[in-house]
Amino acid sequence: MRPKKAFTLIELLVVIAIIAILAAILFPVFAQAKQAAKATADLSNLKQIGTAMQLYTNDNDDMYCYAIPDNWSGAPSWGSPSLGWTLTLQPYSKSLALFRSPLDSNSVVEYPSWEGVAVSYGLNSFTAPNAAAAANFINVAPDSWQGRCEKPAFTNAQDCTLRGISAPFAQIYGQNGGGELNVAALSTTQVTHPGDTIAIATKFNGDALKWGGTNATQFQCGGFFEGVPTTDGSNSNINDCGGNEIPNGLISPSVPAPQGPTGAVGQVKPGGSNFSFTDGHAKFLNIASTDPNPDHQPGLNKWDALRP
């Protein structure tokens, strides 16, 4: 009779060792490929949201939509100023799923009964004091004026200028703005560098939860970036819609968000993120490079839609 052939114990252990080595080599590669695919999907989402914004402006006298509901009153109707920017763009994007990044795992919302689900992107709502009102802010720390130019006693002095595409304040009261901001949104023709001005950026809901007070970024508001036009690392006002400052390229990378160079921008890859621009294109950029020298080279600030 022929003897039965079988693996010896040593041969079996060698095969198992080889499989383990291959798995150790391949699994990190698979994980990296999966992460890269998610980053690509995140970029695709931003591209489609940017396209939806362009379609909206084509139908609305070249005006960008409001960042938050106009006056926070009245029953919301689709595509009206009574909605935040995410729901305003929904008829053009045809998908609410676009507003969630596959890289964003945090879906907690403080008040789901009206806020809906969390949003993974933020609108450019950069603001700065008007030149005529700059004297009011001399030697005043940004934490004192909260990064959004609102005095301790709310007035309609309008000491600020909207430099992003849509205003971040709740007190909008129509296109003429309200509080201390001059307008609720810019027009596409006002943007001086459309191919190099940020419209929307990746902003994970985890950032809004971590830095945004009680209310998370969500569909009714959507996230946005208010901006702090200083380099001292002070935090901007974090209001009910999860507003955060824009990146600051002069602050050391060791300083954590929201005071460091990442601001509230979600990192798609270490140090970098995806951005949609006002001309409709989207791309990956080093986060700090979007505003590398706010004190001495404001013309390089990609968040400033009105820069010379």
Judged against a pLDDT cut of 50, whether residue 240 lies above it is answered with no
At residue 35, the pLDDT reads: 83
pLDDT confidence of 230, banded at 50, 70, 90? very low
d(CA 79, CA 62): 15
Judged against a pLDDT cut of 70, whether residue 54 lies above it is answered with yes
Judged against a pLDDT cut of 60, whether residue 30 lies above it is answered with yes
pTM here is 0.81
**Mean pLDDT (whole number) for 78-93:** 76
Percent of the chain exceeding pLDDT 70 equals: 64
Phi, psi of 183 (to 5 degrees): -140, 165
- Higher pLDDT: 9 or 229? It is 9
Most confident of 39-48, 141-150, 242-251: 39-48
Judged against a pLDDT cut of 90, whether residue 201 lies above it is answered with yes
**Mean pLDDT (whole number) for 297-307:** 89
DSSP string, 70-133: STT-S---TTSTTS-HHHHHHHHH--SGGGS-TT------S-HHHH-S---EEEE--EEE-GGG
d(CA 214, CA 228): 21
Per DSSP, 232 falls in state S
At residue 186, the pLDDT reads: 94
Percent of the chain exceeding pLDDT 90 equals: 24
Q: Is the distance from CB of 302 to CB of 195 less than 8 angstroms?
A: no
Judged against a pLDDT cut of 80, whether residue 199 lies above it is answered with yes
Judged against a pLDDT cut of 60, whether residue 113 lies above it is answered with no
**Mean pLDDT (whole number) for 35-59:** 94
d(CA 173, CA 183): 9
**Mean pLDDT (whole number) for 114-122:** 75
Choice among 123-127, 188-192, 278-282 with the minimum mean pLDDT: 123-127
Domain limits of the chain?
A: 19-300
**Mean pLDDT (whole number) for 100-129:** 76
Which stretches of the chain are assigned E, i.e. beta strand? 121-124, 127-129, 160-162, 198-202, 223-225, 272-277, 282-286
CB neighbour class for 284 (10 Å; exposed up to 12, middle 13-18, buried from 19) = middle
Judged against a pLDDT cut of 80, whether residue 124 lies above it is answered with yes
Q: For 248-264, how does the pLDDT look when each residue is reduced to its tens digit (9 = 90+)? A: 787 777 776 666 677 77
At residue 229, the pLDDT reads: 45
Judged against a pLDDT cut of 80, whether residue 114 lies above it is answered with no
